[in-house]
Structure 1
Amino acid sequence: CPPYNADFDGDEMNLHVPQSEEARAESILLMRVQDQLISPRYGGPIIGGLRDFITGAYLLTKDDTRLTVQEFSNLAMLGSYEGELPKPAAKGKEGPMYTGKQLFSLFLPKDFNYVMTSKWSKGTKGVTKDVVIKNGELISGIIDKSSIGAEEPESVLHRIAKDYGNIQAKNFLNSILIIVKQYITHYGFSYGYSDLELPDKVRETILSDIKGSYDKVFDFISQAKKGTLKLTRGLSAAEALEAYIVNELSKARDVAGSTADQSFDETNSGRIMATTGARGSSLNIGQMAGALGQQSRRGQRMLKGYNNRALPHFKEHESNPDSAGFVKSNYRDGLSTLEFFFHAMGGREGLVDTAVRTQQSGYMQRRLINALEHIRLEYDGTVRDPHGHIIQFMYGEDGIDVAKSDHGEAFNINRLVESQTIIDTGKKASKEEVSQLAKKYTKTFNLRLRNLVTKALEDAKLSKDGIEKVCKKGLDLYNKTKVEPGQAVGIVTAQSIGEPGTQMTLRTFHFAGIRERNVTLGLPRLIELVDARKNPVTPTMDIYLDKESKTSREKAIETARNILQTKVSALISETETDYSTEIKLHLSRNRLKERGCSVDDVMAALESNKKFKNESIGDTVVLKLVDESDAPT
């Protein structure tokens, strides 16, 4: 449940009952559900249809859905529709029939115009902009997650909330969801084992594809043994081989998954749920019907365990991908004992990760709230702390309340122009008229918004009346979306940073195995930023070369050498130690050359050490312990 971030596995809530009239009025003003449709974190809706509602909306608005007059009337009544019923648009065996799209259209505002692409169309590679709503009629397209889903910006729901207000959005959502729930209940939508069965031919294809990938892996291994494997920069031979193998095996899993996924037709319940965005993804279907794929731990294959093998059931240094946790089976056919064990190893990491992450992100959020709780908005539009120190001259640089905004903008000017164009008549306004009107109505706007609006109006081919209407509506929306004095902006900020923290993964991500690029990402990096730590864990720097160094490889390498910190230990090939008196450091010629150092440089570096006397013999530096005469007791 996104608005409360609650799941129903035992979560508890507290109920507070405001007593006085004043407290009740304030609570209603601040906390009514319909005013929470838009999230103050990113200005998009966070309340909407989930799971069954989305599947149901798809089944209802499919092109071939037909309803008898009786069914249509019952459903319309459930959605508390009070107007006149439209004329049935289709014919059936028993007389006139309604389409599912007509039922959906009953609850759209009559002057609503919108065009968008549904998830279904994206997933089945159909036409873009397939959902067309004209004057409150759904003309074509399927309603799914991208139209009425929770946390879906620029959806039909989002547009209704923004353009027609929260009350209308609440009524729209209530009616549609009740109808969809009723419709899917009568439809009888289910998912079972039989929905995962594949024809033998497809199964064979999947197995032969996996075998092909295995052969490639064996080929990589034999290349590595001969030393003919193409190396990537920054990787040793073993690391490069591992990167190639992991890459090949992940391809194998994807191919198996998509083969399985594509062999199901569009009436398959799993496909419907994954494609409309109700639940799951094609990856889940692939793992249930195709192959589970590589199990990993800390982003690597299961390589460690016993001596040179993961489990005692394998030979040492075995090259077969099975021995490092690649699972050929799928959930439908079940895993073998060893596969199950590897899968459990991979799954355990997920559990530990989740437990650790919730603690860390909870603690980070607490620190943030404590740091920002006293910051609020004053009556002069500034953001200040209790001492009256100004933190920001204007909240968010534009004084707009994100929760009332449209993705952080006061209003979507292109959207206003678009809906005006559909109904606009008359002669196109001249440039002077446009700039005059723009100047008149955008006086109070901040510079960025003023420029945006003026440019959009100049590009729009609207009549003078049309331009004026757009300006009036824009100004009206702008005044409505201004942030109110006394708003606890510090708390909202802290919550908006803390809230995504729980969803972030903890593990650092390996940048395709390039060691230099092993960057800290996700929660640890966020915590690092919030704490403003002096020393980040994996600092990186991009250095851009000037014209001369750009073209020559030697110059670039020289620059890199000069930047690199060189320690004496990096230049030594071996050391000999006579524990009582001396240490011999044998320097490596190659390493000296690589780092552009000489024996004298090493001697100079060791000068500062007063405990030893230094001598150099060829490429060997000898450190002799200085006898400290025992101080008289």
Structure 2
Amino acid sequence: MSIMSHRARIMPWRTLRFNESVCNPYNADFDGDEMNLHVPQTEEARTEALMLMGVQNNLCTPKNGEILVASTQDFLTSSFLITRKDSFYDRSSFTLLCSYLGDAMENIDLPTPALIKPIELWTGKQLFSVLVRPNAFTKVYLNLGVREKICTKKCALTVEDKTSEAVHDAMCPNDGFVYFRNSELLSGQVGKKTLGNGNNEGMFSVLIRDYNSHAAASCMNRLAKFSARFIGNHGFSIGVDDVQPGESLNEKKGKTIGEGYQECHELIAQYSKGALKPQPGCSRAQTLEARISGVLNKLRDTAGDHCMSTLHWRNSPLIMSQCGSKGSPINISQMVVCVGQQSVGGRRAPNGFIDRTLPHFPINSKTPAAKGFVANSFYTGLTATEFFFHTMGGREGLVDTAVKTAETGYMSRRLMKGLEDLSVFYDQTVRNASGGIVQFVYGDDGMDPVKMEGKGGNPLNLDQLFMKVMATCPQRGHETLSPEAISQMLNDKLSEQDPSAGGCSDRFKELLTKFVGNRIKMLRNTRRALHLDEDHVGRKDSSIEECVAANISGIAAKQLQVFLDTCLSRYHSKIIEAGASIGAIGAQSIGEPGTQMTLKTFHFAGVASMNVTLGVPRIKEIINAAKKISTPIITAELLSGQDESFGVKVKRCIEKVVLGEVAAAIKIVLKSSQPNLVVKLDMQRIEAQGYEGINADSVQLSIINYPKLKLKSQHVRVIDEAKLRIYPDGTDRSKLQFELHNLKSMLPKVIVKGIPTVERAVVNPVKGRDKTIERYNLLVEGTNLLAVLGAPGVDAMKTKSNHIMEVNQTLGIEAARRSIIDEIQYTFESNNMIIDLRHMMLLADLMTYKVQ
């Protein structure tokens, strides 16, 4: 029975059987899981269950529109094996495989064989084409291009032309670019990116969007039936010999680990001599840890790369990793080569004994082995100390999971209680149970998150749609539109769309205009490259160059019309229905990924010692609107961001400097008639550090304004530029000695420059996609956003803080709302989780819509 008949098959002996594709939403695995079966008693109940809970109606998740029900494990492995370049089948084998698709009951049109002489042979790729479109009556024309995991980066073009890029990618030496054109698989070995879940560009996602859920479901069903039978006959097993390293790999591993250890020993020697230069914002010890961790992580990665390159292509773990059915290159390299560094609390193993991790090592030893680096693999077996460090890492994972369950459960409950009564009304507003308006239009555009296609919650994937239109509606002849005609058609079409009368949003119009603009730019570039006249497009007396230009980037009037009509009609089909309980959906969409988050704090990108709270604790801080957060960080953009020395100057203005750092001496003088304290400033140090404006006068003001000292101006006298005399406040001579010593202990803590609430500031290099430094900004650890905004050299327009309550006090409620959205999004993205922005907007609006 198919998964799509809305129920699992009930077998004898209280057993449920259902398709592997549906395991993900049920969170089911076949290790003894139990389920309850509910039997609706009336026709109304049956219909309601069928419509609301039927698998076919819930293939996509409302969290972000990604597909939830898709192929897993064996299905991916068998699809990957069958679509290899070297899989050929004669007529009997191919027809047998085709019969697997539908219990030999489906009507199948056999494609033309790929090889005709000396014998008719079909390829595995053709079998996949049959799987998507078994016969001429199935009007499914699948068009998509996906880069699989094995696709080499070299074949990615920088050209904006998707068509030529697809052609270029199709020549991938690893056969990693999967390209379907009108339901025919032309290139690529199919894997998780094409068939798996959590991807908006995969095969099943495209089938749902372009056709309907039935098309996707029946295709999944065919694949499930085929896979079970194919892999049963073909055979696929794993054994110890699959993870046995060869001689050359052992030699490479020994050499790599030896070099890594040598580098670590050199760093430790430099640290011991005091010759290790500290990184920005770090002490020497922190710098050593950061450098050693970098070397050891690189070491494991290098050993892993050697391992992956030496494995035979038939190696089972390698196949599973490549197609995405189970495991990763790291899992394989841990089994074969090297387990790598064990971490506890995001750092190397801490000291459990006095100044060492275990009694097996010398005191204060910082070598890789003494701090939890496991050089053995699981194949060779771990030593006693390595095993102990490994269990420390494992224990942390277990504790983390146990703590996290309760935390996330309570967080989800509170989110649900806060948002449960929000729904979309017939006037498109989002209101609560009392009729109070929370949003005038849901998510600013009234779109349904479950139906979104493009990245970043865009309603349509325009590249995908354009590719489909060009394939299903081919050009007749070479009469293509000129750039001006294309623009005119677009403007005419968009002018008909009035937003007030249910037309499309300005954001979507902008998206469509930008896309068509790129096509026009491409057309012009192609014609320029072929030295053609830009004004004469699509003439009757077309030359060969004209035809080439038309084929590469030209578009006919009919094609453009179909494309624009499809875009607009599909956009209107994605508008959210009135009555949708989007509050409950939003609460679940934010709460559910929380269960998969880690509780650890992460290092700020690029700054070794600056931690930032992320994961569940950070989400809790945001939704609690906490007045005091654990790691407040202000990201200050600079007016001159290209200059690092400028950043250092601004940092010195913001970072606090205490008197103890700039005083050469603070002495008690008892000789004179009036006992006092003498403070001498170290003017050389002040000049060397670039602390401008610190002198005896400024220090005098700082001392008078320091609240704990309670001194008046008559008690602090300036002798010269670098010397001050401080007299105690009290008149009681019996307590004089005590007061002098008390003053001496408190004076070094007096803040003489900078913002008192700032712990420190670090100049941070911001890297672009190509890993080169684009600009510098300032990461300020601490609060007082207002003072940072007013600091000289800071670009106040672009500076932001992660402290939401402070943003609210400084910039107002709208800024706080924006900050809530950005912070939740950043926290989820740091855990590689994508959630539709509309859910976060709803939560932020609920938190900020009432006037207190």
Q: 1:144, CA displacement in angstroms?
A: 0.8
The answer to whether the 8 A contact 1:438-1:471 is kept is no
SS at structure 2 position matched to 1:543: strand
Report percent identity of matched pairs.
Answer: 34
Q: Does 2:577 correspond to 1:484?
A: yes
Matched, 1:604 2:704: yes
1:7 CA drift (Å): 4.8
Report the alpha carbon displacement of residue 439 of structure 1 after superposing the two structures with TM. Answer: 3.3
Cα contact 2:667–2:679 (8 A) shared by 1:
no
Judge which range, 70-79 or 100-109, deviates more: 70-79
Which residue identity lines up with residue 436 of structure 2 in the other structure?
H
- Distance, in Å, in 2 between the alignment partners of 1:628 and 1:542 is 51
In structure 2, what is the equivalent of residue 250 of structure 1?
297
1:420 CA drift (Å): 2.1
Alignment of 1:125-524 (within 5 A): 126-127=172-173, 130-407=177-454, 408-422=457-471, 423-426=473-476, 427-429=479-481, 430-431=485-486, 432-440=488-496, 444-457=503-516, 459=519, 461-511=554-604, 514=607, 517-524=610-617
Q: Which letter does structure 1 place at the counterpart of 2:654?
A: I
Q: Provide the secondary structure at the position in 2 that maps to 1:473.
A: helix
Deviation, structure 1 residue 525: 1.7
User: Of 102, 113, 126, which aligns to 2:126?
Assistant: 102
1:113 aligns with 2:165: no
CA–CA distance in structure 1, aligned partners of residues 236 and 679 of structure 2:
74
> Aligned with 1:310: secondary structure?
coil
Deviation of 1:84 after TM superposition, in Å, equals 2.8
Cα distance between partner residues in 2 of 1:229 and 1:264: 40
- Of the structure 1 ranges 4-13 and 319-328, higher mean CA displacement relative to structure 2 is found in 4-13
- Report SS of the residue matched to 2:189: coil
Q: Deviations over 1:10-66 (max 9, x none)?
A: 665554444343333333222221121222111121211111211111011112223
Distance 1:18 1:585, change over 3 A: farther
Query: Equivalent of 1:69, from 91, 97, 110?
Result: 91
Give the distance between the partners of 2:609 and 2:87, measured in 1 at CA: 56
Q: Distance in 2 between matches of 1:399 and 1:20?
A: 36
Distance (whole Å) between structure 1 residues aligned to residue 203 and residue 342 of structure 2? 40
Q: Indicate conservation of the 8 Å contact 1:400/1:409, yes or no.
A: no
Assess if the C-alpha contact under 8 Å between 1:111 and 1:136 holds in 2.
yes
Deviation at 1:267, TM superposition (A): 1.5
SS in structure 2 opposite 1:150?
A: coil
Match of 2:624 in 1: 531
Aligned partners of 2:70 and 2:196 also within 8 Å? yes
Which residue of 37, 45, 61 corresponds with 1:39?
Answer: 61
Deviation digits for residues 337-396 of structure 1 (CA, Å, limit 9, x no counterpart):
111111111111111111112221221111111100000011121111111111112222
Tell me the secondary structure at the aligned position of residue 131 of structure 1.
strand
Partners of 2:198 and 2:274 in 1: CA distance = 51
* C-alpha deviation, 1:242, in angstroms: 1.9
Q: Is the 8 A contact 1:442 1:450 kept in 2?
A: no
CA contact (8 A) 2:308 2:329 kept: yes
Q: Provide the secondary structure at the position in 1 that maps to 2:414.
A: helix
Q: Aligned AA for 1:507?
A: K
Say which is worse superposed, 137-146 or 369-378, in terms of deviation.
Answer: 137-146
SS at 1:214's partner residue? Answer: helix
Q: Secondary structure at the match of 2:338?
A: coil
Report the alpha carbon displacement of residue 569 of structure 1 after superposing the two structures with TM: 7.5
Distance between the aligned counterparts of 1:187 and 1:502, measured in 2? 38
Q: 1:262: how far off?
A: 1.4
- Separation (CA, whole Å) in 2 of partners of 1:544 and 1:262: 43
Q: CA deviation at 1:209?
A: 1.3
Contact 1:377 1:488 in 2 (8 A): yes
For normalisation by structure 2, the TM-score amounts to 0.67
- Deviation sequence 1:213-251 (CA, Å, 0-9, x none): 111111112222233223212222222222211211221
Q: Secondary structure at the match of 1:252?
A: helix
Task: Report the CA distance shift for 1:254/1:551 in structure 2 as closer, same or farther (over 3 A).
Answer: closer
Query: How far apart are 1:557 and its partner, in Å?
Result: 5.9
User: Following the alignment from structure 1 to structure 2, what is the Cα–Cα distance between the partners of residues 585 and 9?
Assistant: 77
Q: Which amino acid aligns with 1:108?
A: V
Counterpart secondary structure, 2:186: strand
Looking at structure 1, the residues matched to 176 and 491 of structure 2 have their Cα atoms a distance apart, in angstroms, of 33
The whole-number CA distance in structure 1 between the counterparts of 2:602 and 2:504 is 43
Deviation at 1:504, TM superposition (A): 1.6
> How far apart, in 1, do the equivalents of 2:680 and 2:304 lie?
51
Distance in 1, Cα, partners of 2:231 & 2:463: 37
Q: Does structure 2 conserve the Cα–Cα contact (< 8 Å) formed by 1:571 and 1:587?
A: no
Worse-matched range after superposition: 479-488 or 558-567: 558-567
Q: Secondary structure of 2:280's partner?
A: coil
Equivalent pair of 1:438/1:453 in contact (CA under 8 Å): no
The Cα shift of 1:284 comes to: 0.8
Q: Distance in 1 between matches of 2:644 and 2:214?
A: 66
Offset of residue 324 of structure 1: 1.2
- Three-state SS of the structure 2 residue aligned to 1:24 is helix
Q: Does 1:82 align with 2:107?
A: yes
Contact 1:572–1:586 (8 Å) recurs in 2: no
Q: Provide closer, same or farther for how the CA distance between residues 615 and 192 of structure 1 changes in structure 2, counting only shifts above 3 A.
A: same
Shift of residue 271 of structure 1? Answer: 1.1
Matched, 1:563 2:654: yes
Q: What CA RMSD, in Å, does the superposition of the two structures yield over aligned residues?
A: 3.5
Q: Unaligned regions of 5+ residues in structure 2, if any?
A: 1-22, 134-139, 156-171, 521-553, 669-674, 735-852
Contact preservation (8 Å) 1:123, 1:275: no
Instruction: State the distance in 2 between where 1:575 and 1:453 align.
Output: 70
For 2:100 and 2:498, locate their aligned partners in 1 and report how far apart those are by CA, in whole Å: 45
3-state secondary structure, aligned to 1:486: coil
After TM superposition, the score normalised by the length of structure 1 is 0.88
Are 1:69 and 1:96, in contact at CA under 8 Å, matched by a contact in 2? yes
What is the identity, as a one-letter code, of the residue corresponding to 1:119? K
**Cα distance in 1 for residues equivalent to 2:306 and 2:282:** 33
Name the SS of the counterpart of 1:542 in structure 2: strand
Worse overlay, 334-343 or 33-42:
33-42
Aligned partners of 2:416 and 2:584 also within 8 Å: yes
Query: Closer, same or farther in 2 for the Cα pair 1:576/1:528, shift >3 Å?
Result: farther
1:537 CA drift (Å): 1.6
Return the offset for 1:517. 2.8
Do the aligned partners of 2:131 and 2:223 also contact (CA within 8 Å) in 1? Answer: yes
Report the secondary structure of 1:181's partner residue.
helix
Counterpart-to-counterpart distance in 2, 1:82 and 1:562: 78
Tell me: CA distance 1:560–1:118, structure 2 relative to 1, closer, same or farther (3 Å). Answer: closer
Matching residue of 2:802: none
Q: Secondary structure at the match of 2:504?
A: coil
Q: Is the 8 A contact 2:703 2:711 kept in 1?
A: no
Q: Give the distance between the partners of 2:232 and 2:33, measured in 1 at CA.
A: 27
Shift of 1:323: 1.2
What's the offset of the Cα at 1:546? 4.5
Q: Deviations over 1:420-467 (max 9, x none)?
A: 223333433434344334434677111222333345456474333333
Deviation at 1:487, TM superposition (A): 0.7
Total equivalences in the alignment: 621
Question: 1:202/1:541 Cα in 2 relative to 1: closer, same or farther (>3 Å)?
Answer: same
1:580 is aligned to none
